[in-house]
Structure 1
């Protein structure tokens, strides 16, 4: 769900990644498998959250959580989603904000479960005080984090079996795609652009791990070797030009109108291998910034874009 400015994007993901450590050890107390959501046994417990009944009025303040909920069959239970949740198209989008969440506005929807990825404005405490159940889904650091969140959402919504199916399909699809990655003597290099201010993500991040599955080498890794930037350093034009990446991946196409043409027009960038070889790849901003089931589509795009390079 993170976007507006690359600085906010980087800071939000870094903060969420740090917070993930507190949640990573939570495991769902999964009920016995059932044939349908209506047959699911409640109460259920995930971490410190217990739901006595199956939620029927879910509010999602996270675009990724919205995608996850609909993917596992909980769409009919979702009553409202935030203003950044644009997939699937029939999600009940509202003016609720995940960036500046308002507890009163959320409570007005009379939810029996709120799902969010950031505890901004102390929203978790406020909703808890109002006795509204809250499930926090921080930005994933690994695919296992994504699988865990899908599984836990399945438990909480009474869609455990469907969630297990989604996770297994993701794992199977990713295994097949990775098997297609050509064997290379030397890994192609890349630069992943979060925004025109040249913020990027290293291999230590979730997005970086996807590129690693595709067999690529991240030019940003050396720039954040000490980890002071939380995996999201800002590179200079000089550093990028000197590194001369084989590929440039743009995740700022929708938000910031960046393209292969604008990259080529930047000072010094026309000499990059990525530009000269037409290897500037325009990604879907939304897919590239979320850690739900469509991460499979992101990996497919990356692998397909780099398949012709067989060094």
Structure 2
């Protein structure tokens, strides 16, 4: 079961990286006012403000609610668990079903990927679909929030959210202690040592603190999409100063389980107790709660002796 789960994680991560890395930034035609229509974002044109939005992306769900479009969201996928009052259903973003989606009578569907040609399927039903792919940088996040604000008639709120996020992140980073030598880190996606390199969205967060990613050597040319599986021997040899666990919910990993791993006692992060659990959901999404992830990394960095 664990092997299958990890394979799914790796495949999803690679697919997300491919989507976000290869798609050009869509053109945005902003309305003259927040409620002016028609509006066009990329290939999607809406003639009126959507009032029945189906979100099949947990990150998009968080973005929509954060910009004030929550009342327009009538259904979300089975992985959208934040905010708590999001109208969660059994719809899947991984294996979307056109008939099930159409049954919700949406006037806008938001996805993070075009799985199984779902965009074309819904297009045949005259249902507008906006693909908001996984971000690789914070700028991608701000752009997607802006795009959703334009489509939903909440451009002003989207702009305010972006400004607030940018200001909060800037404040957190500036308050972090400076170091003569950068801290190294290992970011764990699963117990069988899948990780994310500095070229991913996760890596961009750690780059804010000028940290060195020990996973970079396992995917130097990006052929693995930035999500390599590390060999234990190479990880022990890399000897990271810190370990961040993004598998606390999915796989019940903790500082205690890491310390109990054979051969890990010589790793500096383990020997010095510099192992930091993260919230899986926050760590895997690129929306408004990225600020919380930045704060978690900053708090960890501040705990490491200079």
Same fold (TM over 0.5): yes
State the match for 2:62 in structure 1.
Answer: 67
Q: Once the two structures are superposed, what CA deviation does each residue of 1:79-135 show, in whole Å capped at 9, x if it has no partner? A: 000000000000000000111110000000000000010111111111111110000
Are 1:99 and 2:91 matched, yes or no? no
Determine if contact 2:17/2:226 at 8 Å carries over to the other structure: no
Q: Once the two structures are superposed, what CA deviation does each residue of 1:198-220 show, in whole Å capped at 9, x if it has no partner? A: 10000000001101112211001
Q: Secondary structure at the match of 1:234?
A: coil
Choose from 173, 180, 183 the match for 1:178: 173
> How big is the shift at 1:22?
5.0
Q: Secondary structure at the match of 2:45?
A: strand
C-alpha distance in 2, partners of 1:171/1:274? 30
Determine if contact 2:219/2:226 at 8 Å carries over to the other structure: yes
Determine if contact 1:250/1:258 at 8 Å carries over to the other structure: yes
C-alpha distance in 2, partners of 1:22/1:187? 31
Q: Secondary structure at the match of 2:192?
A: coil
Q: Secondary structure at the match of 1:114?
A: strand
> How big is the shift at 1:21?
4.5
Determine if contact 2:55/2:110 at 8 Å carries over to the other structure: yes
C-alpha distance in 2, partners of 1:23/1:225? 22
State the match for 1:44 in structure 2.
Answer: 39
C-alpha distance in 2, partners of 1:308/1:280? 11
Q: Once the two structures are superposed, what CA deviation does each residue of 1:259-294 show, in whole Å capped at 9, x if it has no partner? A: 111111111112221112111111000000000010
> How big is the shift at 1:13?
2.9
C-alpha distance in 1, partners of 2:70/2:118? 23
Alignment root-mean-square deviation, CA? 1.3
Are 1:251 and 2:246 matched, yes or no? yes
State the match for 1:37 in structure 2.
Answer: none
Are 1:33 and 2:28 matched, yes or no? no
State the match for 1:7 in structure 2.
Answer: 7
Are 1:130 and 2:122 matched, yes or no? no
State the match for 1:215 in structure 2.
Answer: 210
C-alpha distance in 1, partners of 2:253/2:20? 31
Determine if contact 2:274/2:304 at 8 Å carries over to the other structure: no
TM-score by length of 2: 0.96
Q: How many residues align?
A: 303
> How big is the shift at 1:15?
2.2
Are 1:79 and 2:74 matched, yes or no? yes
TM-score by length of 1: 0.94
Q: Secondary structure at the match of 2:250?
A: helix
Choose from 120, 135, 141 the match for 2:136: 141
